[in-house]
Amino acid sequence: MYEGDIASVLLTEDQIQERVKSLAAEIAERYPVGSPQGDLLLVGVLKGAIFFMTDLSRALPIPTQMEFMAVSSYGSSTSSSGVVRILKDLDKDIAGRNVLIVEDIIDSGLTLSWLIRNLSSRNPGSLEVVTLLRKPDAVKTDVNVALIGFDIPNEFVVGYGLDYAERYRDLPYIGTLDPKIYSDDGDL
Ligand SMILES: O=P(O)(O)OC[C@H]1O[C@H](OP(=O)(O)OP(=O)(O)O)[C@H](O)[C@@H]1O
Ligand code: HPA
Ligand SMILES: [Mg+2]
């Protein structure tokens, strides 16, 4: 699939699945069952986090509920526009709930810092973040993320939910994209 488009495999399907299981165990320890705030509410950030959200929720040995939010700052580009737009909001009120934002990647950190501000203003009981991937620039921002799957180099990656111009999300592994794919854009 996508022959010639992927320059290298950064994380194999097995590496991803192993880390998802260990993150699930860490999360379960943090959220005891029977909390007065009710079941843990996973807020998946569409579309990138879809596979991480589904695999993580099924690996969690505690009851969880799911909500989704769609925001976009990248469009058909490999760098963030800096402007975050809500494409789909949550369906339910999160006041008083234990909320865990589920992200696929923190790159510039712009999406997440905006999302944390936005969801905090809705008065959740607690608000934390789990991200599968984090790039070096995100470390410089003030976004405090307790649960990180992998710290990765500053390269544009695709697969396991991550896209370039909506393609490659369906790859089961995470790889770097051959620069020939985006060099025509004048974007990098
Ligand atoms: O830290 P940042 O630089 O803000 O980048 C991270 C965000 O960008 C991607 O979403 P995108 O806007 O591409 O939408 P998508 O998930 O639908 O692909 C990714 O899924 C994160 O949500
Ligand atoms: O490296 C990336 N790949 C795909 N989507 C992204 N959104 C932010 N960074 C990335
Ligand atoms: Mg994207």
Q: Are 91 and 67 in contact (CB under 8 A)?
A: yes
Q: Please check whether residue 88 lies inside any domain of the structure.
A: yes
Largest CA distance in the chain: 54
pLDDT of 77 higher than 70:
no
Q: Please check whether residue 183 lies inside any domain of the structure.
A: no
Q: Please check whether residue 165 lies inside any domain of the structure.
A: no
Query: In whole angstroms, what is the distance from residue 101 CA to residue 181 CA?
Result: 31
Residue 6, token pair as written in the block? 């992927």
Total domains, the chain = 1
- Whichever domain contains 31, its CATH number is 3.40.50.2020
Average pLDDT over residues 110-137: 94
User: pLDDT tens across 29-68, in order?
Assistant: 999 888 888 899 999 999 999 999 999 999 999 999 999 9
Task: State which ligand 2 atom lies nearest to the alpha carbon of 48.
Answer: 5
Name the packing angle between helices 50-59 and 13-30 (round to 10°).
60
Respond yes or no: is residue 170 known to be catalytic.
no
| H/E segment holding residue 175 | strand 174-177
Q: How far is the CA of 152 from the centre of ligand 2 (A)?
A: 11
* Higher pLDDT pick, 14 / 71: 14
Phi, psi of 90, deg, nearest 5 = -60, 150
Helices (H), 141-186: none
Q: Which of 5, 91, 93, 107 is catalytic?
A: 107
- Which of 81, 110, 111 for a ligand 1 pocket mutation test, highest count of atoms within 8 Å of Cβ? 111
- Nearest residue by C-alpha to atom 3 in ligand 2: 157
HSE-up (13 A, CA, CB side) for residue 121: 5
- Nearest residue by C-alpha to atom 14 in ligand 1: 72
Query: In whole angstroms, what is the distance from residue 137 CA to residue 90 CA?
Result: 28
Residue 112: predicted pLDDT: 92
Q: Please check whether residue 185 lies inside any domain of the structure.
A: no
Mean pLDDT, all residues of the chain: 91
Phi, psi of 141, deg, nearest 5 = -80, 170
Residue 188: predicted pLDDT: 43
Query: In whole angstroms, what is the distance from residue 147 CA to residue 116 CA?
Result: 15
Instruction: Give 78's pLDDT tier (boundaries 50, 70, 90).
Output: low
Q: Please check whether residue 114 lies inside any domain of the structure.
A: yes
| Coil, helix or strand at residue 102 | strand
Q: What is the complex's ipTM, to 2 decimals?
A: 0.98
Binding site membership of 161 for ligand 1 (Cβ less than 6 Å): no
Q: Please check whether residue 123 lies inside any domain of the structure.
A: yes
Q: Please check whether residue 188 lies inside any domain of the structure.
A: no
User: pLDDT tens across 139-160, in order?
Assistant: 777 787 889 999 999 999 999 9
Q: Please check whether residue 180 lies inside any domain of the structure.
A: no
pLDDT of 85 higher than 70:
yes
| Coil, helix or strand at residue 171 | coil
Q: How far is the CA of 34 from the centre of ligand 2 (A)?
A: 36
For residue 98, the enclosing domain spans: 12-154
